Amino acid sequence: MAEIEPVDVAIVGAGPCGLTLACMLGLHGVRVTVVEERPTLIDYPRGVGLDDESLRTFQTLGLVDDVLEHVVPDQLLIYLDSSGRELARLAPSAAPYGWPRRNGFVQPLVDAAILRGLERHTGVDVLWAHAVEGFEQRDDRVELAVRDAQGAATTIAARYVVGCDGGASMVRKQLGVAFDGMSSSTSWLVADLRNDPVGTPNSYVGCDPARPYVSIGLPHGIRRFEFRLADGEGEEMAEPEHARSLIARFVPDPDAIDLLRARVYTHHARLASSFVSGRVMIAGDAAHLMPVWQGQGYNTGIRDASNLGWKLAYVLKGWADRALLETYDVERRPHAAAMVRLSELTGRFVSPTNRAVARLRDTTIRALRIVPPLRDYFVQMRFKPMPRYTAGAVVIDPEAGASSPAGQLFVQPDVVGTDGARVKLDDVLGHRLAVIQWGVDPRTACSAADLERLRAVGAIFVAVLPPNQMRPAPPDEGDLRTVGDVTGALRTWFDAHPTPVVVVRPDRIVAAACHPANASATLRGVWEALHLVVGQVDG
């Protein structure tokens, strides 16, 4: 049996989560092999909703411009009743993380952009048409048994393995991890059309008890239709004549329907009982499946990759103990569960087939729209569970309690650098741990021991000033960057969170926040929470 040169991480599955994780690890200089059973990327109807958190991750990877070529930004989502009248809409106007909260996209084209991004990293390879048949965990590595399309067997030794191999994950099954939940008793036809015959950029959900449906405008003139199938309808509905018959009443010229692809899906709502087992982890659909209604299956997988990538890198670089990897499960599994619940709830809202239930729903929603706070709660998508980690690689000030920003995403407004260029904040932070302070060089709050430890893990220090104090701009100095708060968003954030020193993780989660006088004690807590081993914690 042949043996491939050992790598740091082997990723099973070249879907969006696996490719994103590979890019993230490549950015940190980690040696990665992605093993994919298919000969190429999947090219059939899949995800169509991309959120601000995913775009922020692609920004970190340096891929956001490539991804945006295949995105419809700020896409409205309009719910219609059985008569085609507007029932409700999602139209979030805020962009606290630097990107629109709702975006339509063409997944095969975005996946291809991520795949091309791997070419920037010399230590990352993809083995197409290679099936992982099993693996064995040892004290210092995991050995994967792999077979190529010609039947030749190979062994890949990796220090860690991540299963991103979909809902039927071989990795999860071999680990013996439960995948609890349910599968829907109904199926949906998903069809993509060329030369969009509807011609609007928005998304529509038809809450029609006769046959619930979805119509979505996508980039490059593509229109997505989805239809709930009735009892007795199955895979044959993906055949062109049946797909066209369902689409016909929604387009002006049924004879001109240009069908690109069609497929029948069943919705699942499942969550793995653990995301980490020894040196093996699972992510993306291997760890969770959810109905499509909030477009969060794809995005939840990208969050997994963002959370896990830097943690694996820190452990592999010798900066952190392996215990840091356990925080991936502690943080991501509860949040994924919240997304599954939201998707299930939305599905029940959209697709009742009982007309009396549908009328009651419509009446209730219209009544709620009269109340401005309730209307705005829905329109601005405030119901979406945002990451809020109360345990894991975070330090929650017990006196601050729920008001602490720790465990939440830090904002990303535009800022002005010392060169006068206006950029997004993350472009200044890079993929590093960051210490940020309002008005003052944050290094002044750190002891010599603090600075030594932070520099050992490549941290950056950022001073935030009002824009008028950037004239003349103070020079950047070593690992210090000074930025001007040109939008006022950072001042608003610090007003709401009176903790001038903020430690931000590479995945943009606030690890801790404190007053300068408490900085050294807080940084010791960060060192322990992140299981960092560089330097002496007791300084």
Diameter of the chain measured on Cα atoms: 75
State how far the Cα of 180 lies from the Cα of 174, in Å rounded to an integer. 16
Q: Is residue 127 part of a domain?
A: yes
CB 511 within 8 A of CB 406: yes
Give the pLDDT confidence score for residue 461 in this predicted structure. 98
Amino acid at 378: F
Q: Would you state the structure tokens that stand for residue 528, as one six-digit string? A: 């322990």
Query: Same domain, yes or no, for 339 and 407?
Result: no
Q: Would you state the structure tokens that stand for residue 235, as one six-digit string? A: 């895979």
| Segment 465-505, tens digit of pLDDT | 999 998 887 788 889 999 999 999 999 999 999 899 999 99
Give the pLDDT confidence score for residue 364 in this predicted structure. 78
Q: Would you state the structure tokens that stand for residue 303, as one six-digit string? A: 């969050």
Query: Same domain, yes or no, for 416 and 331?
Result: no
Query: Same domain, yes or no, for 15 and 117?
Result: yes
Domain span at 424:
401-529
Q: Is residue 162 part of a domain?
A: yes
Give the pLDDT confidence score for residue 539 in this predicted structure. 46
DSSP assignments along 419-443, one per residue: TS-EEEHHHHHTTS-EEEEESS-GG
Residue ranges of the chain with pLDDT lower than 70? 1-3, 185, 294, 374-385, 399-402, 536-539
Query: Same domain, yes or no, for 446 and 322?
Result: no
CB 349 within 8 A of CB 206: no
CB 308 within 8 A of CB 320: no
Read off the CATH number of the domain in which 39 is found.
Answer: 3.50.50.60
Q: Which of 146, 68, 166 is nearest to 109 (CA)?
A: 68
Read off the CATH number of the domain in which 523 is found.
Answer: 3.40.30.10
Query: Same domain, yes or no, for 435 and 339?
Result: no
Give the pLDDT confidence score for residue 46 in this predicted structure. 81
Give the pLDDT confidence score for residue 467 in this predicted structure. 92
Give the pLDDT confidence score for residue 369 in this predicted structure. 76
Query: Same domain, yes or no, for 165 and 296?
Result: yes
pTM of the model: 0.93
Q: Is residue 157 part of a domain?
A: yes
State how far the Cα of 67 lies from the Cα of 71, in Å rounded to an integer. 7
Query: Same domain, yes or no, for 332 and 408?
Result: no
Q: Is residue 366 part of a domain?
A: no
From 350, 371, 391, the end of a domain falls on 350
| Segment 418-445, tens digit of pLDDT | 989 999 999 999 999 999 999 999 999 9
Query: Same domain, yes or no, for 32 and 162?
Result: yes
> How many other CB atoms are found less than 10 A from the CB of residue 128?
15
Query: Same domain, yes or no, for 318 and 412?
Result: no
From 350, 382, 416, the end of a domain falls on 350
Query: Same domain, yes or no, for 405 and 466?
Result: yes
CB 101 within 8 A of CB 409: no
Please report, for residues 310, 311, 442, 451, 533, the alpha-carbon distance to residue 479 in angstroms, rounded to integers and kept in the order given. 20, 22, 11, 10, 21
Tell me the three state secondary structure of residue 489: helix
338-342 contacts at long range (C-beta below 8 A, 24 or more positions apart): 338/385, 339/288, 339/290, 339/294, 339/296, 339/300, 339/385, 340/181, 340/269, 340/270, 340/271, 340/288, 340/289, 340/290, 342/294, 342/296, 342/383, 342/384, 342/385
DSSP β-bridge partners for residue 227? 189, 213
Domain count, the chain: 2
DSSP β-bridge partners for residue 158? 7, 142
